[in-house]
Structure 1
Amino acid sequence: MALRRALDALYWCSAALAALCLLGIFFIMIAQMLLRQFNIPILGADDVTAFLCVGSAFFALAYTFRRGELIRVGLLIEKLSPKARQAMEAVVLALAAVLTAYITYWCANDVMFSYEIDDMAQGSIAFQLWIPKLAMPLGAGIMLIAVLDELVRVLRGQKPSYQVAAEDRAARGDFSAEV
Structure 2
Amino acid sequence: MALSRPAHSGLALSRLLDRIYDAAGVLAGVAMIAIVLIILAQVGARLAAYPLRGGAQFAGYAMAAATFLALPHAFRRHAHIRITILLQALPDRARLVLDVMGLTVATVIGFWFAWWSYDLAYISWEIGEISQGDVAVAMWIPQIVMVVGGALFALSLLHTLIETLVTGRPFVPEGETGLDAAADR
Residues of 1 paired with 2:137 and 2:156: CA distance? 32
Work out whether residues 18 and 76 of structure 2, in 8 Å CA contact, stay in contact via their aligned partners in 1. Answer: no
**Structure 1 residue corresponding to 2:176, chosen from 153, 163, 167:** 167
* Counterpart residue number, 2:70: 60
What residue is the counterpart of 1:109 in the other structure? Answer: 119
| Counterpart position of 2:22 | 12
2:69 corresponds to which letter in structure 1?
F
2:174 & 2:64 partners in 1: Cα distance? 26
1:158 Cα deviation from its structure 2 partner: 4.3
Given that 1:90 and 1:155 are in contact with CA atoms closer than 8 Å, whether structure 2 keeps it comes out as yes
- Answer yes or no: is the 8 Å Cα contact 2:95–2:170 preserved in 1: no
- Partner of residue 75 from structure 1, selected from 44, 67, 85: 85
- The 2-side partners of 1:141 and 1:166 are apart by 29
User: What are structure 1's unaligned runs of at least 5 residues?
Assistant: none
Query: Which residue is equivalent to 2:109?
Result: 99
The alpha-carbon distance between structure 1 residues 166 and 104, as it changes in their structure 2 partners (threshold 3 A), is: farther
1:119 is paired with a residue of what secondary structure?
Answer: coil
What code does the residue aligned with 2:82 have? R
C-alpha contact (below 8 Å) 1:150/1:160 kept by paired residues: no
Distance 1:74 1:127, change over 3 A: same
Measured in 1, the distance between the counterparts of 2:41 and 2:65 equals 20
> Radius of gyration: which is bigger?
2
Is 1:90 the counterpart of 2:100 in the alignment? Answer: yes
Query: Deviation string for 1:15-63 (max 9, x for gaps)?
Result: 0111011010010011111221111111111110111111111000011
> Which residue identity is paired with 2:130?
M
The correspondence for 1:155, drawn from 141, 150, 165, is 165
Identity %: 27
> When the two structures are superposed, what TM-score results if normalisation uses the length of structure 1?
0.90
State the number of aligned residues.
174
Query: Matched residues in 2 for 1:45 and 1:16: separation?
Result: 22
Residue 49 of structure 1 is matched in structure 2 by 59
Call closer, same or farther: CA 1:45–1:25 in 2, change over 3 Å. Answer: same
- Structure 2: which 5+ runs fail to align? 1-10
| Structure 1 runs (4+) greater than 6 angstroms displaced | none
The aligned amino acid for 1:167 is E
Q: Could you tell me the TM-score, scaled by structure 2's length?
A: 0.87
